[in-house]
Amino acid sequence: VTISVGLIGMIVIAIYSSWNAILRSAKAGAEATANAQRERIARRSIEEALGSVMMFQANLPHYAFIGDSTSLSLVSHLPPTFPGSRVFGHQPVRRVTFRMEGAIGQAGRLLMEQSMLLAPTNSGAGTYTNILSTNVSAFLLEYWDASVSDFVTEWANTNDLPRIVRMSMAFGHQGSMGKNVEATASVVG
């Protein structure tokens, strides 16, 4: 009887250990899938905004292209499928700003702010802010500057558009459960 109770105890422990391992791997898989989806949506949003960017030389204060290493603000003619389009109705031309929020060296949030370029008087239309992604440990934008034939981290020429924008993103943070941060880069031109 003692031996059979001991065997049953070992079987229960083995089943519990297997079940616990399955739950941990399912959680890790779901987290990886969610991060990949967030990264895909963030990249697509930035690429769509850059792909339909607008510049109107006669009204540069409203149409200026402003970019540095961690933020980008531009005016774009956005498709109806762009995140947040329902908020603005039939106003496809909007100022879109992408920026990081959080402390340096820690995982933060990638935010996308949209506002109508020409809002009707007393409409109450404000800025719509959307969290594109959380747990972003790095977000870097670089702009191709033809005058130096290299990428720069700040676009100072607000009345001109860069030919190429390189975007790098990383999710997670170093040392969280022994995971390494992997950065991915893409080029929009």
pLDDT given for residue 134 in this prediction: 82
Distances (CA, A) of 67 to 40, 51, 102, 145: 21, 15, 18, 12
Gyration radius from the chain CA atoms: 23
3-state class (DSSP) for residue 39: helix
Burial class from Cβ neighbours inside 10 Å (0-12, 13-18, 19+) for residue 189 reads exposed
- 66 in Cβ contact with 73 (< 8 Å): yes
Which has more confidence, 157 or 154?
154
What's the whole-model pTM score?
0.76
Average pLDDT of the segment spanning 133-141 = 85
Range of 6-20, 38-52, 124-138 with top mean pLDDT: 6-20
Give CA–CA dist 77/80, Å, rounded.
Answer: 10
Reported as a single tens digit per residue, the pLDDT across 120-132 is 545 556 788 888 8
